[in-house]
Amino acid sequence: MPELPEMEAWRRGLDGPVSATPIAKAGPAHVATLKTYDPPLSSLDGRRLTGAERRGKRLLFPTEDGELVVVVHLMTAGRLRLLRPGEKGPKQPAFRLAFEGGAQLVLTEAGSKKRAGVWLLRPDQAQAELAHLGPEALGLGAGRLGEILASESRRLHPLLRDQRVIAGIGRAWSNEILHSARLSPFAVSTQLEPDEVERLAAAIDSELARGLELRERGAGNKATYRIHDHLGDPCWRCGTPIAQVDYEEHTILYCPRCQTGGRVLKDRRLSRLLR
Ligand SMILES: [Zn+2]
Protein backbone atom coordinates (compact mmCIF):
# COMPACT_ATOMS: atom_id res chain seq x y z
CA MET A 1 0.00 0.00 0.00
CA PRO A 2 1.34 3.44 -0.83
CA GLU A 3 2.16 5.32 2.37
CA LEU A 4 3.23 8.89 3.15
CA PRO A 5 6.44 8.98 1.03
CA GLU A 6 4.69 7.47 -2.00
CA MET A 7 1.60 9.69 -1.70
CA GLU A 8 3.63 12.84 -1.09
CA ALA A 9 5.79 12.12 -4.14
CA TRP A 10 2.60 11.72 -6.19
CA ARG A 11 1.16 14.90 -4.72
CA ARG A 12 4.22 16.90 -5.74
CA GLY A 13 4.11 15.45 -9.23
CA LEU A 14 0.39 16.11 -9.72
CA ASP A 15 0.10 19.54 -8.10
CA GLY A 16 1.02 21.54 -11.22
CA PRO A 17 -0.55 19.41 -13.96
CA VAL A 18 -4.01 19.02 -12.34
CA SER A 19 -4.34 22.79 -11.88
CA ALA A 20 -3.03 23.76 -15.32
CA THR A 21 -6.41 23.66 -17.08
CA PRO A 22 -10.07 23.23 -16.00
CA ILE A 23 -11.73 19.83 -15.92
CA ALA A 24 -13.46 19.08 -19.23
CA LYS A 25 -15.20 15.94 -18.03
CA ALA A 26 -15.22 14.06 -14.73
CA GLY A 27 -15.78 10.34 -15.03
CA PRO A 28 -16.44 7.63 -15.78
CA ALA A 29 -16.03 6.08 -12.34
CA HIS A 30 -16.43 2.44 -11.34
CA VAL A 31 -19.52 2.02 -9.19
CA ALA A 32 -17.44 0.48 -6.39
CA THR A 33 -14.78 3.21 -6.56
CA LEU A 34 -16.96 6.33 -6.38
CA LYS A 35 -18.23 6.41 -2.79
CA THR A 36 -20.51 9.44 -3.12
CA TYR A 37 -23.39 10.37 -5.45
CA ASP A 38 -24.36 13.83 -4.21
CA PRO A 39 -23.05 16.17 -5.52
CA PRO A 40 -22.91 14.30 -8.85
CA LEU A 41 -19.54 13.83 -10.55
CA SER A 42 -20.69 15.99 -13.48
CA SER A 43 -20.71 19.01 -11.15
CA LEU A 44 -16.91 19.03 -11.55
CA ASP A 45 -17.14 19.69 -15.29
CA GLY A 46 -15.77 23.12 -16.18
CA ARG A 47 -14.21 23.73 -12.76
CA ARG A 48 -10.50 24.18 -12.18
CA LEU A 49 -8.60 22.44 -9.38
CA THR A 50 -6.22 24.44 -7.16
CA GLY A 51 -3.72 21.58 -7.16
CA ALA A 52 -3.05 18.46 -5.12
CA GLU A 53 -3.01 18.29 -1.33
CA ARG A 54 -2.36 15.34 0.96
CA ARG A 55 -3.64 14.23 4.35
CA GLY A 56 -2.08 11.00 5.63
CA LYS A 57 -2.35 8.48 2.79
CA ARG A 58 -5.15 10.38 0.99
CA LEU A 59 -4.88 12.91 -1.82
CA LEU A 60 -7.21 15.90 -1.95
CA PHE A 61 -8.01 17.95 -5.04
CA PRO A 62 -9.98 21.09 -4.07
CA THR A 63 -11.71 23.16 -6.73
CA GLU A 64 -10.58 26.75 -7.20
CA ASP A 65 -14.04 28.12 -6.31
CA GLY A 66 -13.81 26.46 -2.88
CA GLU A 67 -17.05 24.50 -3.37
CA LEU A 68 -15.88 20.93 -3.95
CA VAL A 69 -13.05 18.56 -3.00
CA VAL A 70 -12.13 15.28 -4.71
CA VAL A 71 -10.64 12.87 -2.13
CA VAL A 72 -8.71 9.82 -3.34
CA HIS A 73 -7.61 6.84 -1.24
CA LEU A 74 -5.64 4.25 -3.22
CA MET A 75 -5.73 1.47 -0.57
CA THR A 76 -3.52 -1.49 -1.56
CA ALA A 77 -3.71 -1.77 -5.32
CA GLY A 78 -4.93 1.59 -6.60
CA ARG A 79 -2.56 3.58 -8.83
CA LEU A 80 -2.79 7.08 -10.27
CA ARG A 81 -1.46 8.06 -13.67
CA LEU A 82 -1.32 11.37 -15.41
CA LEU A 83 -1.70 10.95 -19.16
CA ARG A 84 -0.37 13.56 -21.53
CA PRO A 85 -2.65 14.82 -24.34
CA GLY A 86 -3.06 11.99 -26.83
CA GLU A 87 -1.47 9.37 -24.57
CA LYS A 88 -3.40 6.11 -24.47
CA GLY A 89 -4.89 5.19 -21.14
CA PRO A 90 -6.60 2.12 -19.69
CA LYS A 91 -9.88 1.09 -21.36
CA GLN A 92 -11.82 0.94 -18.11
CA PRO A 93 -10.25 3.16 -15.48
CA ALA A 94 -11.69 3.01 -11.96
CA PHE A 95 -11.91 6.79 -12.14
CA ARG A 96 -10.96 9.49 -14.64
CA LEU A 97 -10.68 13.25 -14.80
CA ALA A 98 -10.23 14.60 -18.34
CA PHE A 99 -8.79 18.12 -18.49
CA GLU A 100 -9.21 20.77 -21.15
CA GLY A 101 -6.23 20.47 -23.48
CA GLY A 102 -6.30 16.67 -23.36
CA ALA A 103 -4.42 15.63 -20.22
CA GLN A 104 -6.11 13.00 -18.05
CA LEU A 105 -5.78 11.82 -14.48
CA VAL A 106 -6.69 8.13 -14.27
CA LEU A 107 -7.05 5.79 -11.33
CA THR A 108 -6.59 2.09 -12.02
CA GLU A 109 -6.76 -0.83 -9.65
CA ALA A 110 -5.21 -4.23 -10.27
CA GLY A 111 -7.22 -7.34 -9.36
CA SER A 112 -10.95 -7.89 -9.08
CA LYS A 113 -11.37 -6.41 -5.60
CA LYS A 114 -12.20 -2.72 -5.88
CA ARG A 115 -11.02 -1.18 -2.64
CA ALA A 116 -9.63 2.19 -3.75
CA GLY A 117 -12.06 5.02 -3.21
CA VAL A 118 -12.95 8.42 -4.67
CA TRP A 119 -15.21 10.84 -2.82
CA LEU A 120 -16.64 14.07 -4.23
CA LEU A 121 -17.40 16.23 -1.21
CA ARG A 122 -18.09 19.76 -0.11
CA PRO A 123 -15.25 21.15 2.04
CA ASP A 124 -17.19 20.67 5.30
CA GLN A 125 -17.94 17.06 4.37
CA ALA A 126 -14.27 16.48 3.48
CA GLN A 127 -13.23 17.88 6.84
CA ALA A 128 -15.62 15.50 8.61
CA GLU A 129 -14.40 12.58 6.50
CA LEU A 130 -10.78 13.25 7.55
CA ALA A 131 -11.46 14.26 11.16
CA HIS A 132 -10.53 10.85 12.58
CA LEU A 133 -6.93 11.08 11.33
CA GLY A 134 -4.09 11.71 13.77
CA PRO A 135 -1.33 14.27 13.18
CA GLU A 136 0.90 13.95 10.11
CA ALA A 137 3.81 11.55 10.68
CA LEU A 138 6.46 13.66 8.95
CA GLY A 139 7.69 16.42 11.27
CA LEU A 140 5.82 15.05 14.29
CA GLY A 141 8.72 15.66 16.69
CA ALA A 142 9.74 13.97 19.94
CA GLY A 143 7.50 16.09 22.20
CA ARG A 144 4.27 15.28 20.40
CA LEU A 145 5.31 11.66 19.80
CA GLY A 146 6.06 11.27 23.51
CA GLU A 147 2.52 12.42 24.38
CA ILE A 148 1.02 10.01 21.85
CA LEU A 149 3.08 7.06 23.12
CA ALA A 150 2.17 7.82 26.74
CA SER A 151 -1.56 8.15 26.00
CA GLU A 152 -2.25 4.44 25.51
CA SER A 153 -0.31 1.24 26.06
CA ARG A 154 0.19 -0.31 22.62
CA ARG A 155 2.85 -2.31 20.82
CA LEU A 156 4.88 0.00 18.57
CA HIS A 157 4.30 -1.61 15.16
CA PRO A 158 0.47 -1.59 15.30
CA LEU A 159 0.51 1.83 16.98
CA LEU A 160 2.57 3.43 14.20
CA ARG A 161 0.20 1.96 11.57
CA ASP A 162 -2.96 3.26 13.28
CA GLN A 163 -4.10 6.25 11.18
CA ARG A 164 -6.20 7.61 14.04
CA VAL A 165 -3.03 7.95 16.12
CA ILE A 166 -0.48 9.06 13.48
CA ALA A 167 -1.38 9.63 9.81
CA GLY A 168 0.71 8.34 6.91
CA ILE A 169 2.60 5.25 8.11
CA GLY A 170 1.66 1.70 7.10
CA ARG A 171 3.25 -1.72 7.29
CA ALA A 172 6.28 -1.09 5.10
CA TRP A 173 7.43 2.16 6.69
CA SER A 174 6.74 0.82 10.22
CA ASN A 175 9.28 -1.90 9.45
CA GLU A 176 11.80 0.65 8.15
CA ILE A 177 11.27 3.14 10.98
CA LEU A 178 11.49 0.65 13.86
CA HIS A 179 14.65 -0.87 12.41
CA SER A 180 16.21 2.56 12.00
CA ALA A 181 15.28 3.40 15.62
CA ARG A 182 16.63 0.02 16.84
CA LEU A 183 13.35 -0.70 18.64
CA SER A 184 11.42 -3.96 18.87
CA PRO A 185 8.15 -3.98 16.90
CA PHE A 186 6.59 -5.47 20.05
CA ALA A 187 8.00 -2.82 22.44
CA VAL A 188 5.23 -1.25 24.51
CA SER A 189 4.61 2.45 23.88
CA THR A 190 4.29 3.46 27.54
CA GLN A 191 7.53 1.72 28.53
CA LEU A 192 9.97 3.60 26.26
CA GLU A 193 12.83 5.54 27.81
CA PRO A 194 13.13 9.24 26.80
CA ASP A 195 16.14 8.50 24.57
CA GLU A 196 14.11 5.78 22.81
CA VAL A 197 11.29 8.25 22.13
CA GLU A 198 13.88 10.65 20.69
CA ARG A 199 15.28 7.87 18.49
CA LEU A 200 11.83 6.90 17.26
CA ALA A 201 10.91 10.51 16.43
CA ALA A 202 14.19 10.96 14.56
CA ALA A 203 13.69 7.67 12.70
CA ILE A 204 10.14 8.61 11.62
CA ASP A 205 11.48 11.80 10.05
CA SER A 206 14.65 10.39 8.54
CA GLU A 207 13.02 7.27 7.07
CA LEU A 208 9.99 9.07 5.62
CA ALA A 209 12.26 11.78 4.19
CA ARG A 210 14.55 9.11 2.71
CA GLY A 211 11.54 7.37 1.16
CA LEU A 212 10.14 10.58 -0.24
CA GLU A 213 13.44 11.53 -1.84
CA LEU A 214 13.76 8.09 -3.46
CA ARG A 215 10.12 8.00 -4.65
CA GLU A 216 10.45 11.48 -6.16
CA ARG A 217 13.30 10.11 -8.22
CA GLY A 218 11.06 7.24 -9.31
CA ALA A 219 12.73 4.50 -7.23
CA GLY A 220 10.92 1.14 -7.05
CA ASN A 221 10.28 -0.90 -3.90
CA LYS A 222 13.58 -2.80 -4.10
CA ALA A 223 15.67 0.37 -4.11
CA THR A 224 13.51 2.05 -1.47
CA TYR A 225 12.92 -0.53 1.26
CA ARG A 226 15.86 -1.93 3.24
CA ILE A 227 13.94 -4.16 5.70
CA HIS A 228 10.43 -4.52 4.30
CA ASP A 229 10.31 -7.35 1.71
CA HIS A 230 13.88 -8.30 2.67
CA LEU A 231 13.32 -11.53 4.61
CA GLY A 232 16.63 -13.39 4.99
CA ASP A 233 18.70 -10.57 3.48
CA PRO A 234 21.59 -9.27 5.64
CA CYS A 235 20.69 -6.31 7.87
CA TRP A 236 22.33 -3.20 6.38
CA ARG A 237 23.65 -2.29 9.83
CA CYS A 238 24.92 -5.56 11.32
CA GLY A 239 24.65 -8.26 8.64
CA THR A 240 22.22 -10.49 10.61
CA PRO A 241 19.55 -12.02 8.35
CA ILE A 242 16.27 -10.08 8.53
CA ALA A 243 13.59 -12.14 10.30
CA GLN A 244 9.81 -12.05 10.19
CA VAL A 245 7.06 -12.50 12.74
CA ASP A 246 3.30 -12.68 12.29
CA TYR A 247 1.32 -10.31 14.43
CA GLU A 248 -2.47 -10.42 14.17
CA GLU A 249 -3.10 -10.23 10.41
CA HIS A 250 0.26 -8.67 9.54
CA THR A 251 3.77 -9.93 8.85
CA ILE A 252 6.44 -7.78 10.46
CA LEU A 253 10.10 -7.76 9.41
CA TYR A 254 12.92 -6.91 11.82
CA CYS A 255 16.57 -7.51 12.66
CA PRO A 256 16.90 -9.81 15.71
CA ARG A 257 20.26 -8.33 16.59
CA CYS A 258 19.55 -4.59 16.14
CA GLN A 259 16.00 -4.54 17.44
CA THR A 260 15.33 -7.32 19.94
CA GLY A 261 18.69 -8.00 21.58
CA GLY A 262 19.07 -11.31 19.77
CA ARG A 263 15.60 -12.60 20.72
CA VAL A 264 13.47 -14.19 18.02
CA LEU A 265 9.90 -12.95 18.29
CA LYS A 266 7.08 -15.49 18.45
CA ASP A 267 4.11 -15.32 16.09
CA ARG A 268 0.95 -13.80 17.49
CA ARG A 269 -1.48 -14.52 14.73
CA LEU A 270 -5.07 -13.43 15.10
CA SER A 271 -6.25 -17.02 14.48
CA ARG A 272 -4.20 -18.23 17.43
CA LEU A 273 -5.35 -15.37 19.65
CA LEU A 274 -8.96 -16.27 18.89
CA ARG A 275 -8.53 -19.92 19.71
ZN1 LIG B 1 20.90 -5.59 12.35
HEC readout, the chain: CCCHHHHHHHHHHHHHHHHHCCEEEEEEECCCCECCCCCCHHHHCCCCECCCEEECCEEEEEECCCCCEEEEECCCCEEEEEECCCCCCCCCCCEEEEECCCCEEEEEECCCCCCCEEEEECHHHHHHHHCCCCCECCCCCHHHHHHHHHHCCCEHHHHHHCCCCCECCCHHHHHHHHHHCCCCCCCEHHHCCHHHHHHHHHHHHHHHHHHHHHHHCCCCHHHHCCCCCCCCCECCCCCCECEEEEEECEEEEECCCCCCCCCCCCCEEHHHHHC
Question: In a structure prediction context, what are the per-residue pLDDT tens digits for the chain, which is 275 residues long?
Answer: 899 999 999 999 999 999 999 999 999 999 999 999 999 999 999 999 999 999 999 999 999 999 999 999 999 899 999 999 999 999 889 999 999 999 999 999 988 888 999 999 999 999 999 999 999 999 999 999 999 999 999 999 999 999 999 999 999 999 999 999 999 999 999 999 999 999 999 999 999 999 999 999 999 999 999 999 999 999 999 999 999 999 988 899 999 999 999 999 998 876 655 54
pLDDT on residue 227 = 97
CA of 237 to the centre of ligand 1 (A): 5
CA of 148 to the centre of ligand 1 (A): 27
pLDDT on residue 114 = 86
pLDDT on residue 270 = 66
CA neighbours within 13 Å on the CB side: how many for 39? Answer: 16
CA of 261 to the centre of ligand 1 (A): 10
CA of 225 to the centre of ligand 1 (A): 15
pLDDT on residue 112 = 82
Triad 244, 133, 26: Cα angle to 5°: 105
Q: Are 135 and 141 in contact (CB under 8 A)?
A: no
pLDDT on residue 111 = 84
CA of 258 to the centre of ligand 1 (A): 4
CA of 74 to the centre of ligand 1 (A): 32
CA of 220 to the centre of ligand 1 (A): 23
CA of 172 to the centre of ligand 1 (A): 17
CA of 140 to the centre of ligand 1 (A): 26
Q: Are 161 and 176 in contact (CB under 8 A)?
A: no
Smallest Cα–Cα separation from 185: which of 240, 274, 267?
267
CA of 181 to the centre of ligand 1 (A): 11
CA of 234 to the centre of ligand 1 (A): 8
Sheet (strand 95-99) strand order: 23-29, 95-99, 104-109, 78-83
The contacts of residue 141 (CB under 8 Å, 6+ apart) are 201
